[in-house]
Structure 1
Amino acid sequence: MKKGTTKAVAVIFLILLAGIYYYVKLPAINIHAAGFWTFLILVIAAILVIYIFRRKLFRGQELKENKVVKGLVGLIFVVVAVYLVGTLLSSPIINAKKYQKLLTVENGDFTKDIKELSFDQIPILDKDSAKLLGDRKMGSMVDMVSQFEVDELYSQINYKDKPVRVSPLRYASIIKWFTNQSEGIPGYIRIDMATQTTELVKLEEGIKYSTSEHFNRNIYRHLRFSYPTYIFNELSFEIDDDGVPYWIAPVKKFNIGLFGGETVGRVVLCNAVTGETEDYAIEDVPEWIDHAYDADLLVELYDYHGTLKHGFFNSILSQKDCLKTTDGYNYLAIDDDVWVYTGVTSVNKDQSNVGFVLMNQRTMETKFYEVEGATEASAMSSAEGQVQNLKYKATFPLLLNIAGEPTYFVALKDDAGLVKKYAMVNVQKYQIVAVGNTVSECETNYLGLMEQNGIQVERDSVNAEKTETISGKIRKIAQGVIDGDSHFYLMLEGSDEIFDVSVVDFIDIIKYDVGQEVTLEYKEGENANVVLSLNGEKKETKSDDAQNEQQ
């Protein structure tokens, strides 16, 4: 083979090898991307290996004396050195002040900024519970379950002023992809986090771009070929106000050196059905988008803000004035945006918080609220202690404003992962813990406990307005047991509503029968209306001691 031919073959082989690597690994062609430097080193190394084999330079002396070999080896060392120096110069060790100022934190007013939510706006499910509901819904779709499964994304968003989680379907296997990819994925799962309503939203045209696609329709590859220089953060799946599915791809921005000070500079929207993309600067992102900033990124930025006030070494050694976020976070819907909530405590990990922060996932706006009290872990333990005989497990708390009091709201789940009860724990006085079978019942018990502990409570809250009164004769009565407690279910003449009367709260209900006149004060519940007053007798709220004695 002629010399020119072998050179051409070598070049083609190198291009083919680099192309395969790029197609599989999808590195951004950007000096700020670590993957780009790895790609560069591998290309130089491949050139070196091909050159050595072409020239048959297998002896040590020949390799050492060859100028091309020496140059390529030196170039690899230069690239590695630049990467390592760039990493060091970008680190918090020598840029502590810059890292500390990446996030601007304002002081907030709790009662002003965080309004009381109505029960249909409180997300009572966490991601794990949403997955159970999604899988259960998918299992009921006999025409799809053999071909598709639910992706595990379950992004929490605000949809028409309600907290929902959405997740696309995905092909069950590569074989199912072969047989269905021409039509695409037929829809996505949407779960109302307040009512637990789960629906499979079927689309007129299937989703053609997703994480379970292969080749050029794979969403990561599609975005990379459209924007070869962009460094994307974690993708999220969202729907716009019309229910159209989109992939949200935040573009990383590095503010300190080559690799440091990561924030978000742009956001790319990709229509999951058509593959059409839109590129926005972060300040121009449409308001319906909820996940421009990843929750983990926001938490990391706040930790930089809280720990680096007096430099990097202070954060490691004396740790003066160092604060950090607690382990875990949750989401709160405010003014059509999703905010990340997490507590703030000292780096010594004591059992109390100095306050908490809310961080906007669309704008990065961050507010600190100085509210001293229990950590989320302590609140979870307190809630579990109220139902220790049932061995329920608490989810990570959600912070709510209940009658002007900062309150942890906790869902309690059984071994199967299903939500069975709800608890409210006062942040500042975490010995005040109320439990209920419904959110309404839990709030009523909580308000009563606060009054017993000398806390002034405004009963005309958002949810208190939903209390109604009805009178009539009992036309039907039935008894049931929920978690060991007896309940009577009533239906009155002239009404199709069902009213839930707890025997624990109203022992006299056992004296009533069909035909008797009753007056009920109640709140609307999910499956039955919760009775708060029976013929003028108010529901009693047990103290902590009484609850523990019962257990």
Structure 2
Amino acid sequence: MKSKKVFGIVVAIIIGLICAGGYYYVALPPINIHAPGFWSFVIVALLLILAVYGLMNIKKPDIRISDAQNFDARDIKIKFKSKKAEAITKLIVYATVIVVIIFIGGSILSSPLVNASKYQQLITVSTGDFASDIKPVSYDKIPVLDKDSASIIGSRVMGTMVDMVSQYEVDDNYVQIDYNDKPFRVTPLKYGNLIKWFTNNGKGITAYIKIDMTTQNAESVKLTEGIKYSTSDHFNRNIYRHLRFAYPTYIFDTLNFEIDDSGTPYWVCPVKKYNIGLFGGVTIGQVVLCNAITGELTSYEVKDVPTWVDKVYSGDLLVELYNYYGTLKHGYFNSVLGQKDCLKTTEGYNYIDIDGAIWLYTGITSVGEDQANVGFVLMNQRTMETRYYEIAGADEQSAMASAEGQVQQLGYKATFPLLLNIAGEPTYFMALKDASGLVKQYAMLNIEQYQTVATAETVSGCEKTYIALLADNGITIPKVLEDKTASGTITKIAQMVVGGNSHYYIMIDSSQDIYDVSVVDYIDIIKYNVGDKISFKFNEGTNVKTVIGITK
């Protein structure tokens, strides 16, 4: 009889462990007291053990058929096969209750309600100088695509890959990176379904998509050896499972697909750091880099992450950290009730490439219903460095509505603005998209006087019109509009489509500059080739000079 009891206990434990192991393999909770998923795992495991052990040790109720008419379920009392079984069952119940209490209590004690000052100090905000920090940017570095437009272009590129389109799909990652000192978005492909994974996993995913955010050119980058670790892989090659088994205690944030300077694909895997209590004050403490082809893993402290890595902190996390900083200056209850001196980020954000790093841009407004910004912040996605600029003006939604009003007859929609330095003025820059999501025009709008709006089909044309508007409104002196001349022998000439129009980009032997010639405005440019002599007028401004006249 005793051996039967021992056998029952062993079987219950084994079944419970098998169920818990299956749950762990699928859910992949970190073995870390700071992870809510870990506590959920413990609670589920205890409940499974309780269910299995209890069912094996509860006596069957003794109900006679003759008593069926008078049967009442409330009269059934749970009886165990032994006192020991009853004690063990109660112990499991108590343990489950204690774990639940710790989880709930830890959540409350880790919240801003109790730790407002600690949350407010999670980031350090410095005051920046707009003119010195944000230099005028050349056309070849202004990102004109947002993620949605990049996704449309990526899908079209996928459609041209006839050898792969039936087996793979485009992942929706599209992380913005700095690659060779220019903004790009990159995303891997993914297996179409489980069957297609079985038929293709031997060679892996043999390409990823790279999109130039300034020219809208996209390409499929073919790999000599395929990606073997991805979000669409299964079993131990699934990137999440690969990471979990290597780092069972790490609490990973959103994974990002990036490429290094040589184009090798990696998964950038930020590791959360909890700074307040059990579950509060999340920042990033470490970063694991996973070579997507070989699966090789390397863990870095944030300060030691290679410089080609761009996205350590997600946009949502950075915005959350600033909102703690801006709203909790006078405690939690002030942030909810009086809201004195409370500032928050506006709805939405965008990214800009500054000095080889990707910075998040978003406006700052007071907590209320006004439609004006008191300033804006730039937040480095690799280091969390945060700079605040006190420049009052229209908020982004008002700016987008103003830009859309300029082209209301066309029905274009504006992307969330970027902040640029145009002629020394803080300027919103937006792409204007048609109903299919493709970029058709561009808009520039003065932050402080948002009725000053310029639109054009090219970035250079938009800037030219915008600077003229600034001058007409007495906002700035249009020094960048001073016309200059150049002449020489053409050493390079390349055609490119920008905003649906053909442009020729020319270099001559007497200058290192690049000259932009619009075919629409100067059709004769198609007659020129390398080696021909040419003379023209151009606007002095950014690195790419806008040609405003060809002379003979």
TM over 0.5: yes
Q: CA deviation at 1:535?
A: 7.3
Aligned position for 2:54: 52
The amino acid of 2:127's aligned partner reads N
Aligned to 2:244, which of 216, 224, 236?
A: 224
Q: CA deviation at 1:67?
A: 2.0
- CA contact 1:164–1:192 (8 Å) conserved in 2: yes
Q: CA deviation at 1:491?
A: 13
Q: Helix, strand or coil for the counterpart of 2:362?
A: strand
Q: How does 1:167-316 map to 2 (within 5 A)?
A: 167-316=187-336
Q: CA deviation at 1:520?
A: 4.8
Q: Does 1:84 align with 2:84?
A: no
Measured in 2, the distance between the counterparts of 1:490 and 1:358 equals 34
TM-score, with normalisation over the residues of structure 1? 0.86
Q: Deviations over 1:99-158 (max 9, x none)?
A: 000010000001101111110000000001101111111101111111111101000000
Q: Helix, strand or coil for the counterpart of 1:187?
A: strand
Q: Percent identity?
A: 57
Q: CA deviation at 1:70?
A: 1.9
Q: Does 1:62 align with 2:102?
A: no
Q: Structure 1 residues 501 and 245 mapped into 2: Cα distance closer, same or farther (>3 Å)?
A: closer
Q: Which ranges of structure 1 fall in alignment gaps of 5 or more residues?
A: 473-481, 504-508, 510-517, 537-551
The amino acid of 2:58's aligned partner reads K
The amino acid of 1:351's aligned partner reads Q
Q: Deviations over 1:343-370 (max 9, x none)?
A: 0001103111000000011110000000
Q: Helix, strand or coil for the counterpart of 1:95?
A: helix
Aligned position for 2:548: 532
Q: Structure 1 residues 61 and 174 mapped into 2: Cα distance closer, same or farther (>3 Å)?
A: closer
Q: How does 1:479-518 map to 2 (within 5 A)?
A: 499-502=518-521
The amino acid of 1:521's aligned partner reads K
Q: Structure 1 residues 374 and 169 mapped into 2: Cα distance closer, same or farther (>3 Å)?
A: same
Aligned to 1:386, which of 396, 406, 411?
A: 406
Measured in 1, the distance between the counterparts of 2:246 and 2:14 equals 25
Aligned to 1:17, which of 16, 19, 35?
A: 19
Measured in 2, the distance between the counterparts of 1:491 and 1:256 equals 55
Aligned position for 1:521: 537
Q: Structure 1 residues 471 and 33 mapped into 2: Cα distance closer, same or farther (>3 Å)?
A: closer
Q: Structure 1 residues 401 and 20 mapped into 2: Cα distance closer, same or farther (>3 Å)?
A: same
- CA contact 1:360–1:366 (8 Å) conserved in 2: yes
Q: Structure 1 residues 227 and 499 mapped into 2: Cα distance closer, same or farther (>3 Å)?
A: closer
Measured in 1, the distance between the counterparts of 2:439 and 2:78 equals 72
Measured in 2, the distance between the counterparts of 1:98 and 1:212 equals 39
The amino acid of 1:51's aligned partner reads Y
TM-score, with normalisation over the residues of structure 2? 0.86
- CA contact 2:480–2:539 (8 Å) conserved in 1: no
- CA contact 2:503–2:519 (8 Å) conserved in 1: yes
The amino acid of 1:417's aligned partner reads G
The amino acid of 1:338's aligned partner reads I
The amino acid of 1:54's aligned partner reads M
Measured in 1, the distance between the counterparts of 2:169 and 2:343 equals 42
- CA contact 1:92–1:312 (8 Å) conserved in 2: yes
- CA contact 1:440–1:523 (8 Å) conserved in 2: no
Measured in 1, the distance between the counterparts of 2:163 and 2:196 equals 13
Q: CA deviation at 1:497?
A: 9.4
Q: Helix, strand or coil for the counterpart of 1:204?
A: strand
RMSD: 3.2
Q: Which moved more, 1:411-420 or 1:53-62?
A: 53-62
Q: Does 1:34 align with 2:54?
A: no
Q: Runs ≥4 in structure 1, deviation > 6 angstroms?
A: 487-492
Q: How does 1:361-400 map to 2 (within 5 A)?
A: 361-400=381-420
Q: Structure 1 residues 363 and 490 mapped into 2: Cα distance closer, same or farther (>3 Å)?
A: closer
Q: Which moved more, 1:58-67 or 1:20-29?
A: 58-67
The amino acid of 2:268's aligned partner reads I
Q: Helix, strand or coil for the counterpart of 2:519?
A: strand
Aligned position for 2:70: none
Q: Does 1:357 align with 2:377?
A: yes
Measured in 1, the distance between the counterparts of 2:327 and 2:196 equals 50
- State the number of aligned residues: 508
Q: Structure 1 residues 30 and 284 mapped into 2: Cα distance closer, same or farther (>3 Å)?
A: same
Q: CA deviation at 1:460?
A: 4.1
Aligned to 1:117, which of 109, 123, 137?
A: 137
